[in-house]
A = this chain, B = another copy of it.
């Protein structure tokens, strides 16, 4: 096309946007925890640590200047979308937030998820996708050229949550091998428990599961742990594990899971984390929770330095900064 003798807007010779690192993460989709090796985890955790230091020192950086993220949430999740938006913005990247109205918009006109994703990739360099259907991110990744980061696909996966959980354990306790880790609550339906369990199975750890009878770890996951020869045991009261775990990972038990509400009332105190219970815990241990909580950890516990759940939230920011930079070839 002719330029009409116009003064050009840009001097395009001076600069070229390009990847600095074309390692294993460059242009890769982040779909499932099963895609990570121990080496991958070390890499991301090292980068996340750098993100932490940079954030505390500078607040923001220009590492992702020139890159745009489309942050697409088909179901609201303030915590996760805020975390990804903050992560991209702190690295100097641009964000197109698509968190509302999407169900009333293109989709309501009958557009397929794939078409919506291919459309959005025309505007951006990476897509974060939350969608209620299992497998949605994997399906989208097949058709879309830019990297897709799964931010939760229904009962499926939420890999960045599992990464931030593991990163928290490592940051708080220095290492992962050798730890005894208790998980409490709804172990049957709890997506975060399943994903973290899979990541932990890469390490030499002891696993202690505490749940109501009807909400025990699913058979296939338990059998997988047994096949992996993990040191694993199940309990029905958090009291039975509190004194010798290094990590207590607490999750919510939804009343709705119980056919009989009186059954729920009967057992719920067995999974409550109170200041009294914390007196029996080791001096150096941490309590984690994916949040939101609705009563399973007493507010008074927040002041205990072993309460790591809000620091865990912050680690999510650093993990997401590291992943965004890695898939864009800038970390």
Contact = CB atoms under 8 A, between A and B. Distances in A.
A255 to B, nearest CB: 10
A46 to B, nearest CB: 5
A17 B51 CA distance: 15
B120 A15 contact: no
A109 B68 contact: no
Contacts of A86: 68, 94, 96, 123-124
B46 A6 contact: yes
Interface stretch (A57-65, A179-187, A221-229): A57-65
Contacts of A90: 68, 94
In the complex, the count of this chain's copies comes to 3
A169 interface: no
Contacts of A47: 6, 9
A304 to B, nearest CB: 14
Interface residues on A, range: 35 or more
B63 A119 contact: no
A67 to B, nearest CB: 6
Given A65-B60, A310-B118, A54 B292 contact: no
Contacts of A46: 1-4, 6
A49 interface: yes
A123 B314 contact: yes
A84 to B, nearest CB: 10
Given A79-B119, A86-B124, A101-B78, A10 B54 contact: yes
A36 interface: no
Given A10-B63, A76-B102, 9 more contacts: A8-B50, A9-B47, A9-B325, A12-B58, A68-B90, A76-B104, A86-B123, A115-B293, A123-B314
B54 A59 contact: no
Interface in A224-278: none
A214 interface: no
A22 interface: no
Interface in A59-111: 59-61, 63, 65-68, 70, 76-79, 82-83, 85-86, 89-90, 94-102, 104-106, 109-111
A57 to B, nearest CB: 5
